[in-house]
Structure 1
Amino acid sequence: MNLFKTLQNIRRTIHQNPELSNKEFKTADLVEKTLKEQGIKTYRLCKTGVIGILEGTKKTNKKTKVIALRADLDALPIKEKNNHSYKSKNPGVMHACGHDGNTTMLLGAAMILAKQKEEFAGKIQFTFQLDEETAGGSKGMIKEGVLSANKVDCIIGAHVSPWTKSGKVALKYGAMMAGVDKFVIEIKGLLGHGAYPHLSKDPIVATSEFIMSLQTIPSRIVNPVEPVVVTVGKVEGGQQYNIIADKVTVVGTVRTFSEKTRELIKKEMIKRLQGICKSYSMTYTFDYQVLNNPLINTDSVVDLCYESAKQVYGPKNIEFLKNPSMAGEDFAEYLHEVKGAFIYVGTSSNEKTSYPWHHEKFDLDETALPKGAEILANTAKLFLNK
């Protein structure tokens, strides 16, 4: 079998047929079919999540362990602007984050490990997760027993990276990605004629003041050496140019690395809302949602990934990330339950494969896929045999 050609075909099939979160039915079918062809037992979680189980046959007197390897299946509501032969066939849906590559690498690891069962003792769980993009998939799968059913001891996730050169792998000790929260606020005023503002209560003015006040939370309330982001992504209100609105909706996100900071920001947001709305004689509603926790890698598992990467990539092709990212990743929820690590597989080789995640021209260097598969397979064997 030519592993590169096999993985390239799989990746292009998935890329041509992207599916949104919780609708990954065809992708799940392809994954399940591919695993079964390798003699790997499968079952479903949350309808479109696929679990494959492979047991090693190596003899041992020690207690065996279980390692999970994870990839994500869903695409994004983005219209693809690439012109290659394998571009998306689904209008307005695209694998713009590289989950097609993540899934392909994990299928490649399954192909490698299925032929090496005699080289390890213990169990490998191939975890193909639905719904990463809306930050609900990992929680749903945890609730349905993705970690508890097979008593997973450790979990590894791999993601393609357009910011890492093809042929390299990037690792990070400790905090790697921020916790992701979402807030939805509605400021309620009094509808009125634009020519008679004194007879109404203008929520647009109050909202403007509130949005500007948010900027002082990270700059004046939170310790300046602590990474924090407070972003307003959507403001909606009003009917037309000569009508004073009755309400304005504000939607945004908060990114932090600690529960203490998260609670501080939430408290300060409410304080500002109460003060501003009181001064304008208005009311408000405030909905604050914790979407996922910070992604904090286990140092000992990063050590394991480094050992594996030296064997697969060579020490010169390993990068250590210095700073955490303010982006989020729901793999973090697994790390709240068991030890593990998240790694980046470099897929950037030229301008066409260096567009950032969620870009309409996102693509990847497919020659990186076999090595991505190999590091997942090798790391699993190292963990089970140690």
Structure 2
Amino acid sequence: MDLEEIYRLAVDFRRYFHRKPEVAEQEYETQAYITDVLQRYGIAYTTVGTGIIARVGQGALCVALRGEMDALRVKEATGLPFASENEGMMHACGHDMHLAMVLAVTIALKQQEPLLQKTVKIVFQPSEEKRPGGARLLLPELLKDPVPRAIFAQHVYPGLPTGCVGVRSGAFFASSDNIIFSVEGKGTHAAMPQNGSDPILATACLIQFYQTLVTKFRNPLTPAVVSVTSVHGGTANNVIPDRVDVKGTVRTHDNELRDRIFELIDEKSEAICGLYGCRFKRDKTMNGLPVLMNDRLLTEQFVGRAGYLLGQEHVRLMEPLTLGEDFAIYLQSIPGVMWVLGVCPPIQDAMPPLHNPGFSPDEEAMRTGIVMLLDCVNRFPVN
């Protein structure tokens, strides 16, 4: 198959996936469609939950590719002729394009199978948008013999024009953790606060303190974000409630700082709440994402190959991103690279961001993505 044939396949796949989005842990129709395509081309596969790991080629040398299956609960507003047919769901993060490119590349690899001289495992991963994430579900199966010596993936990126790729060695995407906690006090009439303990006041002090985690407890050269995004407590203007429930997020590019932030949250929050006669209770289910760490040598090789194939002017060395990505889970066990794929149409200076109802990436960008996926497989290992 030539590039144009692979690209046309990818376009057809992408438009199907875009019309039929399914959210995390419900990717049943998506799974059925992919397995039907794999069977049609005689490609072996294993299912894990709603996920799939396909296999092409043979031999102890193994390399892996990954694409995601799930969509978001977003009401689409793109006006595309192949817009979502599933009410309130949309591929607003580009997973339809990731999936389409990987599926088209899988077919191309099958057709060149006698020349591969290696095993290629292709991961069709569910539940990237929901924690604990589909990567944790599929990783044990992926690590069965032959174990991949490298894994590659890409993510569409509206901040770069079509035809460009961006990458960073080492810490690229941030860790991503939820803060979920409650502050419990003693409710009372608002006109008689001395008869109770005010969890709203204690929560306000906690929120102020959490901002100091990134201003006073962090090396200022290490990126980090602590944001409280949801506060719910009380139902009436004249009643101090018994409880306040709070949610937020923590992002950083340093796994030691990630752990230290939560140590400080637990240690200091209990003391602060105690000042107001309240109790702090945090959900300690740690199912967030670590920092996404691209392998140094593989990234250097990727940059060199991308410059050769696309032209150096189309390869951007990126600053760290505060987005989270569960591809980081694979990279804890397998060296690899994730890069970002420019999808901003050349006629536009800017476009709606990821997770936006109007997000509409340029399909032409898939040509670049396909070229790089195939090259990562065919050229690995690069001497």
**TM-score, scaled relative to structure 2:** 0.93
Q: Quick one: structure 1 residues 48 and 312, their matched pair in 2 at CA, closer, same or farther if it must change by over 3 Å?
A: farther
Alignment-derived partner of residue 147 in structure 1 = 143
Alignment-derived partner of residue 266 in structure 1 = 262
Which of the numbers 53, 57, 60 marks the counterpart of 1:51? Answer: 53
Tell me, yes or no, if structure 1 residue 287 matches structure 2 residue 290: no
Alignment-derived partner of residue 251 in structure 1 = 247
Residue identity in the other structure for 1:25: Y
Residue identity in the other structure for 2:139: I
SS of equivalent to 2:267: helix
Does the 8 Å contact 1:352/1:362 carry over to 2? no
CA RMSD between the two structures: 1.8
Does the 8 Å contact 2:6/2:105 carry over to 1? no
Alignment-derived partner of residue 209 in structure 1 = 205
Q: What's the CA shift for 1:149? A: 4.1
Distance in structure 2 (CA, Å) of the matches to 1:251 and 1:340: 32
Does the 8 Å contact 2:184/2:199 carry over to 1? yes
Does the 8 Å contact 2:61/2:146 carry over to 1? no
Alignment-derived partner of residue 300 in structure 2 = 303
Does the 8 Å contact 1:66/1:384 carry over to 2? no
Does the 8 Å contact 1:64/1:121 carry over to 2? no
SS of equivalent to 2:216: helix
Gaps of 5+ in 2: none
Does the 8 Å contact 1:109/1:377 carry over to 2? yes
Alignment-derived partner of residue 33 in structure 1 = 36
Q: What's the CA shift for 1:351? A: 4.2
Alignment-derived partner of residue 376 in structure 1 = 373
Alignment-derived partner of residue 356 in structure 1 = 353
Alignment-derived partner of residue 176 in structure 1 = 172
Distance in structure 1 (CA, Å) of the matches to 2:204 and 2:125: 40
Q: Percent identity?
A: 30
Alignment-derived partner of residue 326 in structure 2 = 330
Range with greater deviation from structure 2 (324-333 or 117-126): 117-126
Residue identity in the other structure for 1:139: R
Does the 8 Å contact 2:24/2:126 carry over to 1? yes
Q: Quick one: structure 1 residues 316 and 158, their matched pair in 2 at CA, closer, same or farther if it must change by over 3 Å?
A: same
Does the 8 Å contact 1:304/1:383 carry over to 2? no
Does the 8 Å contact 1:105/1:372 carry over to 2? yes
Distance in structure 1 (CA, Å) of the matches to 2:317 and 2:254: 22
Residue identity in the other structure for 2:121: Q
Tell me, yes or no, if structure 1 residue 194 matches structure 2 residue 183: no
Does the 8 Å contact 1:119/1:381 carry over to 2? no
Distance in structure 2 (CA, Å) of the matches to 1:75 and 1:262: 28
Does the 8 Å contact 2:172/2:253 carry over to 1? no
Q: Quick one: structure 1 residues 309 and 33, their matched pair in 2 at CA, closer, same or farther if it must change by over 3 Å?
A: farther
Residue identity in the other structure for 1:152: P
Range with greater deviation from structure 2 (27-36 or 339-348): 27-36
Which of the numbers 37, 51, 62 marks the counterpart of 1:66? Answer: 62
Tell me, yes or no, if structure 1 residue 124 matches structure 2 residue 120: yes
Distance in structure 1 (CA, Å) of the matches to 2:314 and 2:115: 26
Q: What's the CA shift for 1:229? A: 1.0
Residue identity in the other structure for 1:27: T
Does the 8 Å contact 2:173/2:293 carry over to 1? yes
Tell me, yes or no, if structure 1 residue 316 matches structure 2 residue 313: yes
SS of equivalent to 1:371: helix
Alignment-derived partner of residue 185 in structure 1 = 181
Q: Aligned residues, how many?
A: 377
Residue identity in the other structure for 1:55: G
Gaps of 5+ in 1: 57-62
